[in-house]
Each structure stands twice: as C-alpha cells, then as structure tokens.
Amino acid sequence: MCSLCCLSKAPNLSVINKVHAAQHFFPLMSRALALAACMLSSAEAFSVVPRAPAASTATSSAFALARPRQAASAPAATARSRLEELEMVVKPLKIGIVGVTGAVGKEIIDVLGNRKFPVSELRLFASARSAGQSMKTPFGDKKVEEFSLAASRECDVVFLAVSGDFALEWVPQITANNGPLVIDNSSAFRYDKDVPLIVPEINIDAAKKSKSRLIANPNCTTAIALMALKPLHDAFGIKRAIISTYQAASGAGAEGMAELQEGSAAMANGKEAVNKVFAHRLPFNLIPHIDKFLEDGYTKEERKVTWETRKIMDLPDLPVSCTSVRIPTLRAHAESITIETERKIDMALAYKVLGNFPGLKLTDDVKNNVYPMPLTASTKYDVEVGRVRKNDVFGEYGLDLFVCGDQLLRGAALNAVIIAEEMFP
Ligand code: 2RA
C-alpha cells in the first residue's frame, strides 16, 4: 500500500497530522495537494478522528474545521465535489512582509514558497534604505517597497519581522477597522491579555476564538521548548520546569550571524574577532547573557521563557526557571530541560507522546549516537527531542530531555506561516 493510503487510514491521526505526515513523506507536495491526497484516498479522512489524547490539542485545525463535519457520516462524496470543496478551502491571499531584508523576513518568504502557501500577491516591505532592491522569491522577482500604512492595509495578512518599537507604532494603525491580520514576531504585544500568543500545534484555538486582528509569534526559545513540553504536560502534568539554553547567533538577526562568521574566519586566520552585536566575542566562547538584565537577576530573554510558557500553555502559575546562554552556533537553539511532573513517568508513554506530536521529531537513539544537535536541526521544520530519561532528583516524577530547533523556522518564520495557514482555511 502506498504511504498516502496508509496515512489516510491511520486511525489516530487527525487530518492536519495526516497532511503534516504526507508533506513529511513528500516534502515538495503543497499543503493543498497533501490535503487533497489524504481526502481523496480515503473517505475516512473527512471525519474528525479522535487522536491520542496526549498528542495535541490541534484537532480543530483550520483544515479540520474547513471540512464539512457531516461528511463523516454522509454518503461518500464524489472526488470532483471534494476537489471543489478544497478549492473553496484554499483561497489565495495578498501577503505583506515587513522587514524582508532581515534574517526572519527572508525565511518567511522561503517558508511561504516551500509550503506552497496560496499567495495571490506578495508585497515586500522594508525601510527607505532598501526600497527599490530586487529580490528573487519563489513567487518571482519582486521589488522591495518602502513600508507604508496604505500599502500594508491592502494585504490580507501582514507578517512583521521588525522591532518591537515598529510594532508598537504601526500595529494599531494596520489592524484598525478590520484591517489585515497581523502576525508579529516582536515581543511588543506578547504579554497583552487581548493578544493571542500562539504556537499553532498547541493553542491555535486561542487565536480562533479571539477578536484580535493581531497574533503574536512567541520568542524562539519558548516555541522550541514548548513543542516538547506540551505533549509531556498532557501526558503527565508539568509541575515545574528548569531550562538551560544554548542559543545560536541567529537570535541576534543577520548581524549576529555575520559577526559569528566573520569573527570565526578572522580567528582562524590568527586575527582578532570584533564584537559589536554581542556583549563579548562569541567565537570560541559562550555568553550567559541574552537581552538585558532585570532587577531580579534574570535576563529578559530568560523571563520571556517563563511568561510565554505560562500564557501559551494556559498555566498562569507554572514555575519556570531559565538560564539563557549564547553559543557560537549559527541558527539552531538547543535547550536542556528538566521537568517535575504531577503523575508518575511511564517512559513508553513519554516516547509515544513525543513521537506523535506534529512538528516534533523523536531523535533519541543513544546507542547509535543519535540525539538532537544544531547540526541536524538547522534548516529543518521539525524540532528534535532526545536524551529523554528519568531525572535522578525527581525520581519517578521527573524527566530530563534535550531539544534542538531551528531558531529562524520554528522559532520565527515557520511558526508564523503555520499560524496564517490555520487562520485562513
Ligand atoms: C535570541 N530569543 O535568541 C532571541 C531572539 N528572539 O536572541
């Protein structure tokens, strides 16, 4: 039986996960085509199939909701009418990206192309300095425009990959009077109670229920950690978490990456490395300092992990302590995580829920030296999780694990694009 047929009949996968899986087997397949294939290869794919309870709350994905629920029990529709339904589901959108010359902006363009996002028009916005430049995109060569409110409001979705100050100034004006949906990568509005803060596989429902025209994309470190913590919380209940991070230069943008690359090249040639972006030289070093220090001794980066974990997981009192460290890797963050749990750990269940969670790849075969690493997680959509073991301090009620995810993808562009996919079925 072909992979797609197997997928379409998989009993405990929702359609969104079948689509995820189909795209995993056939990376160049567009999301629409993957959905069509899953739909056409089995009438069962139309039903809202209950998933393993611990795997995800993403059963109400856009595609799941977009499909007619009654189709599950209705007589099988013809292939033609299913394709017609599909065309209704995937409506091309006018997309604007602000900050296209930065590392995240460029990734958003690529992710839209790779995922065959239905784009009717792509507008690339940047500062006056970059306006007029031509950029090659999967949607053809495009000219960069200077950002303007009027032009951004002509879009259906606007991705912001710029500073928090820019977001504070412009988001209220872009979204005013039912303006475009804005997906903001900055931290400006993340802690506003009326603004959904979303990792789509975890809490897309919060965005769907919200009236807000703004959705905040989380801090990269938080998004990567939560891809593993959510299924573990559903299975065992997380009581507290301690996280130590190993964060790549890309967290400081294209300038941070350039400083690492140029500094490493300089040192390899016996010269000094210059540091302007980072507080100290990054090559052959690590720096336990990301973002500014707060009164309590934590850095703001570390507190973002605490605040955002609580909001996304809807666990307002969860104790989370984080130490954030910048290391000389280019674009994947790694994190060592210890959790204490409410319920006894069952290792088989832990592996099962981690292995089933969409967007997470169980990478844990220590006999063969397989574990998450920046080397293997970079440029990948999935977050890797491994080194999963009971924790000696918390005994039966604790786990240690190691995660690694691409900072520019799950930590920024990919997360933002999946949000848009889910919001515009
Ligand atoms: C960093 N988390 O790694 C930040 C970027 N959002 O610096």
Residues of 2-36 as b/e, b for ≥16 C-beta within 10 angstroms? Answer: eebeebbebeebbbbbbbbbbbbeeeebbbbbbbb
Using the atom order of ligand 1, give the atom closest to the CA of residue 301.
Answer: 2
pLDDT tens digit string along 233-249? 999 999 999 999 999 99
Using the atom order of ligand 1, give the atom closest to the CA of residue 324.
Answer: 3
Angstrom CA distances, 393 to 162, 225, 350, 399, stand at 42, 21, 18, 9
pLDDT above 70: residue 178: yes
Domain ranges of the chain: 3-89, 93-219+413-423, 222-406
Q: Residue 187 corresponds to which tokens in the numbers above? A: 């931290």
Ligand 1 pocket residue status of 290, Cβ below 6 Å: yes
Residue 360 and residue 217: Cα distance in Å, rounded?
18
Ligand 1 pocket residue status of 263, Cβ below 6 Å: no
Backbone phi, psi, residue 131, to 5°: -60, 140
Ligand 1 centroid – CA 251 distance (Å): 4
DSSP reduced 3-state for 6? helix
Nearest in space to 397 (alpha carbons), one of 325, 342, 324:
342
pLDDT above 50: residue 289: yes
Q: How confident is the model at residue 90 (pLDDT cuts 50, 70, 90)?
A: low
Ligand 1 centroid – CA 21 distance (Å): 29
Fold type of domain 93-219+413-423: Rossmann fold (3.40.50)
* Sign of the CA dihedral running 403, 357, 17, 218: negative
Ligand 1 centroid – CA 388 distance (Å): 25
**In contact, 383 and 337? CB cutoff 8 Å:** no
Residue 36 and residue 25: Cα distance in Å, rounded?
15
Ligand 1, atom 5, residue with closest C-alpha: 251
Residue 234 and residue 353: Cα distance in Å, rounded?
9
Ligand 1 pocket residue status of 251, Cβ below 6 Å: yes
Residue 129 and residue 317: Cα distance in Å, rounded?
45
Pick the CATH number of 222-406 from 3.40.190.10, 3.30.1540.10, 3.30.360.10, 3.40.640.10: 3.30.360.10
Ligand 1 pocket residue status of 222, Cβ below 6 Å: no
Angstrom CA distances, 179 to 174, 192, 217, 262, 338, stand at 6, 19, 18, 42, 42
Using the atom order of ligand 1, give the atom closest to the CA of residue 333.
Answer: 3
Backbone phi, psi, residue 369, to 5°: 60, 35
Ligand 1 pocket residue status of 408, Cβ below 6 Å: no
Ligand 1 pocket residue status of 221, Cβ below 6 Å: yes
pLDDT above 60: residue 189: yes
Task: Tell me which of 186, 190, 219 to substitute to probe ligand 1's pocket, judged by most ligand atoms within 8 Å of the beta carbon.
Answer: 219
pLDDT tens digit string along 16-67? 444 445 544 454 455 555 544 544 443 333 222 222 323 332 322 322 222 2
DSSP reduced 3-state for 13? coil
DSSP reduced 3-state for 159? strand
Q: Which positions are catalytic?
A: 220, 333
Ligand 1, atom 1, residue with closest C-alpha: 251
Ligand 1 centroid – CA 325 distance (Å): 10
Using the atom order of ligand 1, give the atom closest to the CA of residue 248.
Answer: 3
Using the atom order of ligand 1, give the atom closest to the CA of residue 290.
Answer: 7
DSSP state of 46: G
Q: Residue 196 corresponds to which tokens in the numbers above? A: 């959904």
Q: Residue 220 corresponds to which tokens in the numbers above? A: 């990269």
What pLDDT does residue 71 have?
27
Average pLDDT for residues 195-206, to the nearest whole number? 98
Ligand 1, atom 7, residue with closest C-alpha: 251
DSSP reduced 3-state for 101? coil
Task: Tell me which of 184, 407, 410 to substitute to probe ligand 1's pocket, judged by most ligand atoms within 8 Å of the beta carbon.
Answer: 407
Average pLDDT for residues 350-371, to the nearest whole number? 98
Mean of all residue pLDDT scores within the chain: 85
**Predicted structure pTM score:** 0.82
pLDDT above 50: residue 210: yes
Q: In 247-348, at which residue ranges do the beta strands (DSSP E only) sit?
A: 320-323, 332-341
What pLDDT does residue 329 have?
98
Q: How confident is the model at residue 69 (pLDDT cuts 50, 70, 90)?
A: very low
Residue with token string 């292995």: 355
pLDDT above 70: residue 287: yes
Average pLDDT for residues 147-172, to the nearest whole number? 98
Ligand 1 centroid – CA 139 distance (Å): 29
Name residue 246's beta-bridge partners: 334
Q: Residue 316 corresponds to which tokens in the numbers above? A: 């307002």
Ligand 1 pocket residue status of 245, Cβ below 6 Å: no
pLDDT tens digit string along 94-152? 999 999 999 999 999 999 999 999 999 999 999 999 999 999 999 999 999 999 999 99
What pLDDT does residue 33 have?
52
Nearest in space to 227 (alpha carbons), one of 245, 248, 203:
203
Using the atom order of ligand 1, give the atom closest to the CA of residue 250.
Answer: 3
171 contacts: CB under 8 Å, gap ≥ 6: 160, 182, 184, 188, 189, 214
Ligand 1 centroid – CA 219 distance (Å): 7
Name residue 183's beta-bridge partners: 159, 215
